Chain A
Amino acid sequence: MESLFLDSIEKVQSFLHFIFYMDSEHFLKYFWSFLVFDLPRYVLLDFLVIFAYLPLRRRRARRYAIARKQLFRERPLVSVLVPGKNEGKHLAALAESLRGQTYSKLELIVVDDGSDDDTEIIGRRLKRKGLIRHFIRNEERGGKASAANTALAYAKGRFIVHLDADLHLNPDSIERILIPFFLEPAIGMVGGDIRVRNASDSITTRLQAIEYMKGISVGRTIASMLGMLRIVAGAFGAFRADVLRELKGWDVGPGLDGDITLKFRKLGWRVHHEPYAVCYTQVPDTPIKLAKQRLRWDRSVVRFRARKHVDMLKFDRNFRVTDFVTVAENLYSNIFLNLLWWVYIVQITVFQAPLFPRIIMVNYLLYLLANIVAYAIAIVLLKDTVRRDDFHLIWFLPLMPFYVGFFIRVVRTYAYVTEFLHGASYQDPWNPWKVSRIARREGM
């Protein structure tokens, strides 16, 4: 008993010795993955929220108030497009929540993309009640992009809000997503802040809630400030209708959100993330469901950024530094970093095998610290839009290094490898066969 205790003490001592008596050269050698890539990207950059974003926002408070006044004075019509399949069950709640918005000059356009449930009946009933302006039924599914484009054909608004049917909004969400257009005329597109609605369902959902706060709320706010936002959530995004029309709407693909964002940028429009335009989404509650969702998302990265928008990396007359950085950073962070991470794993398992447990332990502590910092910054940023439940997430931070460092990375790697080798997303159930078959043939 006593010897066991002494043994433990000894282990802790040697571990502390390992940390505190390591020279910086070794430290870098053992932990370069964290120090070179994750520290600057996920921790140092986050401090910009405290030192740049929030002060800037405070300085602009008056301008923000003026922009808001202008919105309510001009009262432009806003078309809310809700394309989707089998979303009927969400429509009544959605229509009600739109009626409760502080900004009320809205028209709701629902496209029923080949639903095989009661969506048609529900939609027609809501239309008769005047809660839906247009309800368009496609007998056969055409895919997300075509459904959104169908809705666009009916839209009369000066701004278009694209919304997933199952999202929940705050009463001021629409108002807040519109104000940036009046704050800066160069803004063509605004993304809403997606939060997790069912965080308390399971550990899987809690970890995603933390991930969304870090990645979307904080990450996109900073990217937007730096002019490097590469994706605006299709789930809740606002667009200038004239630009969307000029682009002739959304393109076919699994990740149509990122695609349309880059197209706006190519036309010279600024893309903005608004952390206080909140929407709540239901996230997968088991690891299997989550893995499937992420596979779909990650494959689109390869397909669209690597294949379709590779021209943003070319030095021609349309070249812009921010665009270049955006796409390069995206490829870098998603594909290159993922590759390096495997290099790192190989290095510490093969070459530093004897030190492996200690290196893993230190890495864990570093990433845990990084997560705590990121979480704290997210809480500071989101202020009064933070819900009580969000504070309880703090107890799940110790799981985050496993979640991000292992689960997400494995899924992502699998997605990239299969997409590169087989072009797997063409067989994705995301699009009906008639559409994916063409995309595959055209090498899109």
Chain B
Amino acid sequence: MALDPVFLVLTHDAAKFVPEGGARLSPDNLDDEMASRADFFVLDGADADEAMGMLRDVRGHANTKVYLKPVVLGAGAAQAHPILREAVDAVGSADERMHPVAPEQEELIHHILASKHYQQKIPNVLGQQQLSMRLLRFMASRGSMEQMPVQTTSALGGYSYPKLDMFFPEEDASIWELLEELRKQHLIEGRFITRAFHCVHCECAFLNFMETCPDCGSPNLESEEMIHHFRCGYVAAMSEYRRGDVLVCPKCDLGLKHIGVDYDKPSLIFRCNDCQFVFEEPEPSTVCYNCGRRTAPEDQIQRTVYAYSITALGSNVALFGQEQLFNRLLKENLELIDNESFSRIVKMEMERIQRYGKSTSSLLILDIRNLSEALSRLGERSVEFYRDMANAIVAEMRSSDMMTIVGRSVANVLLTETDVQGAEAVKERIIQRLDAIFQEALSMPSGAEGRIEAVEGIQSWDEGMVA
């Protein structure tokens, strides 16, 4: 029996040269048993568009062993394509006669192949529609690697996440919404990179910003400085004052001398060359290069562009398919509320105390350091464990208290009508209970630490402050 090839060269070219240890595979045959058994794929690098198409075929495949497989960009012109270089796991050697993988890239490939996510026997019933699940598994299998946005004119959105984009059909902008959804569920986390405008109609990032006439919308405008002559109080556009090379007040016939001394320029005045309307402020407007529609900037979508990485929770969900873990917990336990409502309630409490000044409420910020490790060790039992922990905290809360969970390991608890000393006592009791649960299930401490803030002492509240 012949040994399985270590790698498969994906190509449409039946005469493609294949180095030793590999075999040729048409991308139409990814369903073959051989495809899931090989260590990695090598893309025929002769043509960038074709290579990109084949990469999409791989990432779009239903089988985990196919779509999570490391992909190397083979020798050829396609290696010069900047987005494609980022989209693959590694760029192979430039000489097609050589082994496609340089020694320093081997470790990366083995790392992926060794990951729980690649090894796990995950049922394939999820199929195409569970795009978010496939993204999570892919990100988890690539470990701690951040998915960086790459600025490009070749993507409609102006930024591309080259590796993740390959999971989506071409020209599909839904990746933005999907990533944002996952981030809100704390399955992935975002590191701020920049902000960007997108067309509200077609998601295109290429917008022409211009100043237009508020009456007719024409961008054909002229602007002038207004001049205020102190002596006589006359105010008019500078052209009215211009007499040859000097400025002379048309009202009192005196020459203007020094700005700030006998005159100043308090504002600008605009005139539309199309409809002659005179106005003080042009209206900013954007025209989309893709769909041609005109929209006010404030009506366009303004997004934060993040670099994404997977959270422990996300990694856990990727393994066990409990995509809605967090949401389910929210629904199950009435005392647990979502972040936004919690923020709103804390703000209201702050305002109430500032206004009446008589009550004392405290905020307990609890960081359970070992939670990530616990979740990845517990796997499918995470939900029960989570529920036990929530119940332990809730047991120490009164009915008017409230709790939310931020990020992977932080719980915020609002203890109403409880002063700082009282809150310290509650904190100690909660940590004791958590330690007991951790010991029982995992024989490890919870690593929980708490911080108390008096609500009236918080200067400004935002979610980020305690996350």
- Chain A interface residues toward B at CB < 8 A: 134-140, 142-143, 145-146, 149-150, 152-154, 156, 248-252, 434-435, 438-439, 442, 444
Contacts and interface: CB of A to CB of B under 8 A. Distances in A.
A150 B230 contact: no
Contact of B230 (A135, A137, A249, A438): A438
Interface stretch (B233-241, B312-320, B395-403, B455-463): B233-241
Given A136-B280, A150-B226, A153-B226, A251 B266 contact: no
B448 interface: no
Contact of B235 (A134, A139, A146): A146
Nearest to B276: A156
B250 interface: yes
A249 B262 CA distance: 18
B237 A153 contact: yes
B233 A252 contact: yes
Contacts of A152: 235
Contacts of A150: 226, 228, 235, 266-267
A143 to B, nearest CB: 7
Contacts of B237: 153
Given A142-B228, A153-B226, A248-B250, A435 B233 contact: yes
Interface in B234-264: 234-237, 250-251, 260, 262, 264
Contact of B269 (A137, A138, A153): A153
B232 interface: yes
A135 B280 contact: yes
> What are the 6 tightest A-B residue pairs by CB atom distance, in nearest-first order?
A145-B233, A248-B251, A149-B235, A252-B233, A138-B266, A150-B235
Given A140-B264, A153-B269, A435-B233, 11 more contacts: A140-B266, A142-B264, A146-B228, A149-B234, A153-B236, A248-B236, A248-B251, A251-B233, A252-B230, A252-B232, A439-B230
A140 to B, nearest CB: 7
Given A150-B226, A150-B266, A153-B237, A251 B232 contact: yes
A169 B280 CA distance: 27
A82 to B, nearest CB: 14
B267 A136 contact: yes
B231 A142 contact: no
Contacts of A434: 230, 260, 264
B266 A142 contact: yes
SS class of chain A's interface: helix, strand, loop or mixed? mixed
A56 to B, nearest CB: 37
Contacts of B267: 136-138, 150
A249 B266 contact: no
Contacts of B175: none
Contacts of A249: 233-235, 251
Nearest to A249: B234
A130 to B, nearest CB: 10
Contacts of A444: 231
Contacts of A250: 233
B365 to A, nearest CB: 35
Contacts of B260: 434
B17 interface: no
Nearest to B280: A136
B279 interface: yes
B263 to A, nearest CB: 10
A140 B226 CA distance: 13
17 contacts: A134-B279, A135-B281, A142-B233, A142-B264, A146-B233, A149-B236, A150-B228, A150-B235, A153-B237, A153-B269, A154-B269, A156-B278, A248-B232, A248-B236, A434-B230, A434-B264, A438-B230
Contacts of A146: 228, 230, 233-235, 266
